[in-house]
Structure 1
Amino acid sequence: MIKLIASDMDGTLLDGKMSISQDNISAIREAKKHGIEFMVATGRARLEALPALEEAGIDCAMITLNGAQVFDKSGKSIFTAGIEKASANKVLDLLDANNIYYEVSTNQGIFSEHQEKRIENFASHIATTMPHLTYKVAIAMASAHLALLNINYIQDIHKLIAKDDIEVLKIIGFSIEGPKVLGPASLEIEKLNDLIVTSSAQNNIEINHRNAQKGIAVAQVAKDRGIHAKEVMTIGDNFNDVSMLQWAGVSFAMGNAEIEVKDYAKYVTSTNLENGVGEAILRAIREEL
């Protein structure tokens, strides 16, 4: 029987409105009744992830920034895996050379140089995942969503990184042109030995230290709790979830997951618009997976 569940957020736990459905909330509460701990494992920073969790009344430990940071329920940081500054600067130079918009997550918040490009890229992501919406509506949704997030807009991120008290945790690059532009850039970045490149959508690449992976973080959390891999369940939809889907004894890919990602999971559940996380949790309890 499982003792720990780690779920991705975007495209997994969150629905089309970037919220957690009542069915998913009920299933998480049912898991708690059975003595099963629930936590999220997300590419988001903690402050980006908190609003949806707080709205749903879910108080849990969190793996954030793809495993670069792990927090307990109280918000205390218990694990960090940052990017070396020399490597971070090389990544930013490469992204600039390829005209790829980027954001940098640090120990002191998330930083961007271009507010307009952030809205444009997030709107493109919304329009892709919800094709029934007009682009105008997607822009409005993106603006409203991003207004809730604590993003710091500055002129020069390179100067920020040079500060002694700044630690780079994740760099995320966006391009409306998707893999056509991001693919070649990823290959160049992967030549830097201490980095790993994953993705949570067709329009982005996520760069972390090689030790900052969801699978590594979930394994560390389980070890700290005396839980074996066979007693852990993970749920995800994209390539930044693969490491934890591979490691866990029970793993579910979402119905909306990338085809290749489904190959790494033992089971497939419904989509994030159909309460797939709740369905997977209740199935695991019912069938004692």
Structure 2
Amino acid sequence: MKLIATDLDGTLLNENGEISIENATAIKKAIDAGIQVVVATGRSYSAANKPLQQVGLNCPIICLNGANVYTENGERLSNIPLSKSISKKILHQCQVNNTYFELYTNQGIYSPDRAKFMDVLLNIMLSANPDITREEVEERAALRFQEEEFKITDDFEGLLADENIEVFKALAFCLEADTLEKVKTPFTDADNVVITSSGFDNLEFNHPEAQKGIALSIFAAEKGIALKDTMALGDNYNDLSMLKIVGRGVAMGNAEEGIKATCDYHTVTNNEHGVAKAIEAIL
């Protein structure tokens, strides 16, 4: 392998949103061995770079599912926004279905109501972890807003009318699968949008060319590296496009079943340093 691409949440990061010493050490060993390492995430650049810096890693970052690509020095190389017409359609579907949403733009991340999202996270975590207290859940839920910097607004129509605003990704959250399906259904193959997910509770909207697989393919080509000599690691459906095209697609132990079925290779969970295990296997 000459190139490794790793997702962040649910993959390189553990449940506390941190890169373990084991994972960091393995990545540094790979880099020292001459292997290029790139992060591919749905996060914004700043939220993706923060955990890397905490363990002394400087890597190129494919962020917002491929809408932006940055060098290890923080220089932006690519920029693929959604059209304003599609952004308005996404906004409308989220509003009529009473679904929490976020818009990731060139001027920050905009959210309509932080308190509402905190309630969504609390309900998810309390349902999944009945043995922990509400205070513990609130502390963990607050990590979401430490990772990303949000701007609160009620004027999304005015925001989208601003010619200086570019929307790179839209994110819809809801605990009810039926509601998310209602948000998703009006979009067709004719629409200039691709819809993926990084969890059971969300939908991620990007330009069709803003996908991890496409961005990774371009990145590898520019480095003169064949995809057959590339390993990618992920856990959810926004990772699928890159896992399918590489020579060694690795599903995390905590990955969705559909992701595990797609990949010929598997590792242990993100809380068991699965990325480190996968890297050690190729080293």
For 2:209, give the aligned amino acid.
N
**Partner SS for 1:6:** strand
- Corresponding residue for residue 165 of structure 1: 164
**Which of 209, 220, 226 does residue 228 from structure 1 map onto?**
226
8 Å CA contact 1:16–1:130 kept in 2: the answer is no
Matched, 1:69 2:68: yes
- Correspondence 1:104-143 to 2 at 5 A: 104-127=103-126, 132-143=131-142
Q: Percent identity?
A: 37
Deviations 1:85-106 (A, max 9, x none): 0110011101111111000001
The superposition leaves residues 26-54 of structure 1 with CA deviations (integer Å, 9 ceiling, x where unpaired) of: 11011012101111100001111122111
* CA drift at 1:148: 5.2
Structure 2: state its 5+ residue gaps: none
Deviation at 1:176, TM superposition (A): 2.0
Q: Are 1:63 and 1:71, in contact at CA under 8 Å, matched by a contact in 2?
A: yes
- Measure how far apart 1:193 and its partner are: 1.9
Deviates more, 1:145-154 or 1:246-255: 145-154
Structure 1 contact 87–192 (Cα < 8 Å) conserved: no
Task: Return the TM-score normalized by structure 2.
Answer: 0.95
1:45 matched to 2:56? The reply is no
Q: How far 1:67 sits from its partner (Å)?
A: 0.6
2:4 is aligned with what amino acid?
I
CA distance in 1, matches of 2:143, 2:40: 24
Give, in angstroms, the shift of residue 266 of structure 1: 1.9
Letter in 1 for 2:267: T
1:210 maps to what in 2? 208
183, 186, 189: which one aligns with 2:187: 189
Aligned pairs (5 A) from 1:1-289: 2-127=1-126, 132-147=131-146, 149-177=148-176, 179-190=177-188, 193-285=191-283
Count of equivalent residues: 283
What CA deviation, in whole Å up to 9, does each residue of 1:100-133 have, x standing for no partner?
1000001111111101022223344545666653
Does the residue aligned with 1:79 lie in a helix, a strand or coil? strand
Length-normalised TM-score, structure 1: 0.93
Calculate the aligned-residue CA RMSD, in Å.
Answer: 1.6
CA contact (8 A) 2:97 2:182 kept: no
Aligned-partner SS, 1:35? coil
Shift of 1:81: 1.3
Match of 1:173, SS state, is strand
Contact 2:86 2:191 in 1 (8 A): no
